[in-house]
Amino acid sequence: MFFKRALLPIASLFLSIALLATGYGLLMTFIGVFLKQQGLGEGTIGLINAAFFFGAILAAVFSHKWIVTVGHARSFAAFSALMVMAFLGHALWFDAWFWAGLRFVSGFAFYAMLIVLESWLNEKSASADRGRILAIYTLIFFLALAVGQLLLLLNMPSTTLFIFGSILVLWSLIFVAITRVSQPVLKPFERYSMPKLLSIAPLALVGSFVGGVFVGAFYTMFPLYIFKLFEQASVVSWFMTLTLLGGLLAQVPVGILSDRIGRRKMLAWAGFFSVAALALMGAWPSLWPSSLGVLYALGFILGLSLFSIYPLSVARANDVLDESSDLVEISRTLLFSYGLGSFIAPLFLGFILKIDSALFFVALGMFAVVLGGYALLAERVADADLNVYVAVPVASGQVLAEMDPRQDEAWVEAHRPSMGSSERPRD
């Protein structure tokens, strides 16, 4: 039985992931709102939040050696301590530069902890089970992030929230500390090759970057925009929750459609659909200023495309790669591009939001137009080369590439959709 054989032994790891993601989702949204309440400008808030994603990028490079040197359990404990100290540091002293440093430490620690947890999951997942385990990982991550947003409805004082977030991280450490899962061995770190991937799978690389821009903007700038209009954390909480649920519910239909009509058309759809959703959101204050229902519906609709772009990009890369390509290296390069987009988004979108809210949506819409237009111009892929769509979490470490079941040709053949004639080109 799958539950007893594959899930039960790693249940403690999933609990740890759920607690960690809940704390991440809670404080990621709250900090932007809190900084706005303290009178900081959107540009400054964008810089502070960008520090988080900069730490995430460095974690993918430098945490690997730490984990190999001292082991997974000790590394997770050290990274947990760093994250808790960063969370509690917010309650000690309020200063923009100090908080930027804390966000940097938080980003580094959070993504390093994900690398540890994903390494364990990858080690203990049989090839036949990886598809289902990755799907469960994605489901848990989305739901935990949504729960983190809903916790804002409790209207806790800022100090209490930082303490609560720290408690969640410590609980995640407890589940790791008591796990019986043996510690895995990390593979040697592989360098990223952006130029190489650009020559092989340019649409996948562009899609990953744009997906990162959207996700970075969603977590850092959208809460500021909503709070600027209503000055109510509860409205921000519901908007973020429903957008995440839209992203979660979209994974299955987007996967089915992309397996049938191809990744190129679905990436074009995601780009142009996002343009329409962003245009409606930009027009919402003028057309439906008093309707929260419309705002929440627009958030849900935006989530349908926003969180589909990165998984579609990874699927596209798997479609166009040949058998001699290093799939893990390619996947990690896409993840790096995604992280780079998340880092860049708050840097410049914060200043744009400060200038004009409508211009903020125009800037995001331009990214979506570029993605949609570039997808339509991209080269088609033959049916015989079409891979399988796999949903991935909205945040992940570099080991996710090794967990991807598409690295196993037997799994791909078993799950490849029936497309009829293999001669007809597929988008």
Rounded CA separation 53/349 (Å): 14
pTM score: 0.89
The more confidently predicted of residues 61 and 3 is 61
pLDDT over 80 at 412, yes or no: no
Instruction: Read off the pLDDT band of 286 (50, 70, 90).
Output: confident
Instruction: Read off the pLDDT band of 423 (50, 70, 90).
Output: very low
Rounded CA separation 45/96 (Å): 8
Residue 401 lies in a domain: no
What is the model's pLDDT at position 82?
Answer: 95
Rounded CA separation 71/120 (Å): 11
Residue 416 lies in a domain: no
Same domain, yes or no: 69 and 157: yes
Q: Among 85-99, 230-244, 363-377, 398-412, where is mean pLDDT lowest?
A: 398-412
Q: Residue 98 CB: number of other CB atoms within 10 A?
A: 14
pLDDT winner (highest mean) among 77-86, 198-207, 253-262? 77-86
Hey, what are 148's tokens? 């983190």
pLDDT over 70 at 354, yes or no: yes
Q: Are 371 and 207 in contact (CB under 8 A)?
A: yes
DSSP letters, 58-124, are HHHHHHHHHHHHH-HHHHHHHHHHHHHHHHHHHHH---HHHHHHHHHHHHHHHHHHHHHHHHHHHHT
Same domain, yes or no: 257 and 298: yes
CATH number for 51: 1.20.1250.20
pLDDT over 50 at 422, yes or no: no
Hey, what are 182's tokens? 């043996």
What is the model's pLDDT at position 406?
Answer: 75
Count of structural domains within the chain = 2
pLDDT over 70 at 295, yes or no: yes
Q: Are 375 and 268 in contact (CB under 8 A)?
A: yes
Hey, what are 249's tokens? 């519910």
Q: Among 24-33, 54-63, 209-218, 240-249, where is mean pLDDT lowest?
A: 54-63
- Using a 10 angstrom Cβ sphere, with 0-12 exposed, 13-18 middle and 19 or more buried, the burial of residue 423 is exposed
Same domain, yes or no: 384 and 281: yes
- Kindly report, residue by residue over 95-146, the tens digit of the pLDDT: 999 999 999 999 999 998 988 888 888 777 776 677 788 888 889 999 999 9
Identity (one letter) of the amino acid at 424?
R
What is the model's pLDDT at position 421?
Answer: 46
What is the model's pLDDT at position 4?
Answer: 66
DSSP letters, 350-395, are HHHHHH-HHHHHHHHHHHHHHHHHHHHHSPPEEGGG--------SS
Same domain, yes or no: 57 and 156: yes
Instruction: Read off the pLDDT band of 379 (50, 70, 90).
Output: confident
Domain edge (last residue) among 182, 208, 242:
182
Same domain, yes or no: 16 and 111: yes
Same domain, yes or no: 222 and 163: no
Residue 47 lies in a domain: yes
What is the model's pLDDT at position 300?
Answer: 96
- Kindly report, residue by residue over 149-170, the tens digit of the pLDDT: 999 999 889 999 999 999 999 9
Same domain, yes or no: 338 and 376: yes
pLDDT over 90 at 326, yes or no: no
What is the model's pLDDT at position 193?
Answer: 64
Identity (one letter) of the amino acid at 381?
V
Characterize the bridge pairing of strands 381-382 and 425-426: antiparallel
What is the model's pLDDT at position 31?
Answer: 93
Q: Among 80-89, 148-157, 172-181, 238-247, where is mean pLDDT lowest?
A: 172-181
**Terminal-residue alpha carbon distance, the chain:** 38
Q: Residue 398 CB: number of other CB atoms within 10 A?
A: 26
What is the model's pLDDT at position 140?
Answer: 93
What is the model's pLDDT at position 240?
Answer: 96
Same domain, yes or no: 253 and 126: no
- Angle ∠(23,29,34) on CA atoms, nearest 5: 110
Same domain, yes or no: 221 and 175: no
Residue 116 lies in a domain: yes
pLDDT over 70 at 174, yes or no: yes
Domain edge (last residue) among 139, 155, 182:
182
Residue 80 lies in a domain: yes
pLDDT over 90 at 88, yes or no: yes
Rounded CA separation 281/399 (Å): 35
Same domain, yes or no: 220 and 265: yes
Residue 397 lies in a domain: no
Q: Residue 377 CB: number of other CB atoms within 10 A?
A: 9
pLDDT over 90 at 278, yes or no: yes
Residue 127 lies in a domain: yes
Q: What is the mean pLDDT of residues 53-76?
A: 85
Same domain, yes or no: 151 and 37: yes
Rounded CA separation 268/372 (Å): 4
Percent of the chain with pLDDT over 70: 87
Q: What is the mean pLDDT of residues 295-308?
A: 94
263 bridge partner residues: none
Q: Which domain holds residue 300?
A: 193-392
What is the model's pLDDT at position 6?
Answer: 63
What is the model's pLDDT at position 247?
Answer: 93
Same domain, yes or no: 387 and 338: yes
Residue 278 lies in a domain: yes
Q: What is the mean pLDDT of residues 79-89?
A: 95
Rounded CA separation 258/267 (Å): 9
Q: What is the mean pLDDT of residues 302-328?
A: 81
Q: What is the mean pLDDT of the chain?
A: 85
- Kindly report, residue by residue over 187-215, the tens digit of the pLDDT: 665 555 677 677 778 998 999 999 999 99
- Using a 10 angstrom Cβ sphere, with 0-12 exposed, 13-18 middle and 19 or more buried, the burial of residue 204 is buried
